[in-house]
Structure 1
């Protein structure tokens, strides 16, 4: 208990993406528009899947949770970034900082496991179609999603508990636009070896294990696609899976770079740019790849609009 945060630091200063006032104001409009599209688009997708009978399948069940997670983890840090882009005093309270990281960690970790579950679902649908309905039952889908959220909560609570046992005696300047654990543990005055080990274990095992599941699933899918005799069917399936794999690979690559490869004791501008990629840009890419380019989702939207028009 003697190591618990007993210092007088009540807030942290976020340096943000840039110190240039002109660039900060220039970034606000595109960042705000991207975030607005992300929020509206993902909430629309959740509502569409929930109200459409033709989208009641494991694929869209997972997709609705992906939309929810994209909405949540981008909303944890992007609104604060937008406020700070227009504010001269870029501060966040100690409690707010810890809570921001805890929520971000929970949603990000959950999404890693959910993407692995989605890859497994696509593997069963394409590689073992005869067993798909028997294997991907409602019970299994619920367990996979519940397990993803459980891993996310456990990871978040573990890191938050370790952070609350640290003492912060200054400096209180965070060279980032949101509170992340690698930055926080390098600002602590107490021994952080335990925190660094936990970060390496949780981030390393979680990211690499789920990424291997995704890669192995899509590799099996690729082998199956090559056996499709119809060139048109082969191209269509390959195009869809290739776009999914591209977005997923970018997500994991940026997360692995951020938590396992970069020097967070002295974060570079590149590290912050990479963070912008997976907190702001990837959610809207997921929305584009998984829904707007999805024929079934567009057809469900068309029928919903027709019902609304006829109801009037």
Structure 2
């Protein structure tokens, strides 16, 4: 018995690759940029030190309104290192062709037919004649009916998607800055000016660290967002393909049932058995399997991104 054909074909040249591009250079550029900013900040610290009165000068320590010294601040920052790991998603997608077919079947038809059901006497001139009694009687006959409906021919092909899922680890980089420290003994306008400049440098060093981490986080998000968008687009396209195919089959099922036919057992042109319910259910199962793979890949990306950004948020002191 020939069944409606469902063939599995591997598309050797039909593998969809992610169009996203991301590499370690993105992070290295950010790290270099902020390294230059830290170097500039340290130079500003040295300028403040050069301009401040020298407490070691003869007699200066007695009249100094503040103590000034350079304090070495050691800290570390996390530099993301990214590795793009290819993940292959492989699932079946339907190619449904709806072909108009003529289906012939026998259907009972009831007609009212005049039939002789008896006789009755008629007297004329001493002669008796018998007349037939005719009555309309229902007669059931099997007549051939024909309907035209769309019957699906389904080919299922294996679709492969290669998506690069970023894997990120944080590499600790030790850094240090010589920052000015001012201890005020007596507040004067000149002391206040030096104190503000010293505090400003310290505050700016903190802001630079925060700003660097923010740029790292944005770069990480951009990479993951690109990969996610690719998969979401693939999912949306699959949804459309499956929905169109299933809808066509549902319409055929409804038409067959409206004509009193069983959609689970119809004959094709070559006499083959066709079960539209089984075909529809198989497509729905393949849709579920495909979506499970794509959704799992998206969820893995979400987890990797959250973990990477959480590691950035941890403040580390050397």
TM score, norm. by length of structure 2:
0.27
Larger Rg computed on CA atoms: 2
TM score, norm. by length of structure 1:
0.28
